[in-house]
Amino acid sequence: MAKIEFLGPLNRETIEVDIKSLNDLKEMFKDDTELQEWLEICAVAVNDSLVCSLDTSIEAGDKVSLLPPVCGG
């Protein structure tokens, strides 16, 4: 199982899912209309590194984080 973290204003509990790639996660989220709005603007990190490919493979124990737009300072 991989952990999915929803950071900052996403404000959702962490979930655990059985996925092999980010493509699987995209598929899993496609019917979540509330989340869809956020997915357009969220970046994705796997084990705390930002990633840019849906083919990124996910192993058991990996941490996937969804990061909404940022504004520090």
Partner 1 sequence: MALELHDGPLHVEEISNRWFNEMRDKNYGAYIPFIGIVRDEDGISGLSFDIYEPILESWFEAWQEKAKEQGAYLLMAHSRGDVPNHTSSYISAVVSPQRKVALKFINDFVEDFKASAPIWKYDIIDGKRVYAKSRSTALKGAGLLK
**Which residues of this protein are in contact with partner 1, per CB under 8 A?**
7-9, 22, 25-26, 29, 36, 39-45, 48-54, 65-73
Under 8 Å CB-to-CB from 42, ≥6 apart: which residues? 10, 66, 67, 68
Half-sphere exposure of 64 (CA within 13 A, CB side): 27
At closest approach, how far in Å is the CB of 20 from partner 1?
A: 15
Element (H, E) at 42: none
Give the phi and the psi of residue 53 in degrees, each rounded to 5. -125, 135
Closest to partner 1 by CB, 12 or 26: 26
Closest to partner 1 by CB, 16 or 73: 73
At closest approach, how far in Å is the CB of 1 from partner 1?
A: 18
At closest approach, how far in Å is the CB of 51 from partner 1?
A: 7
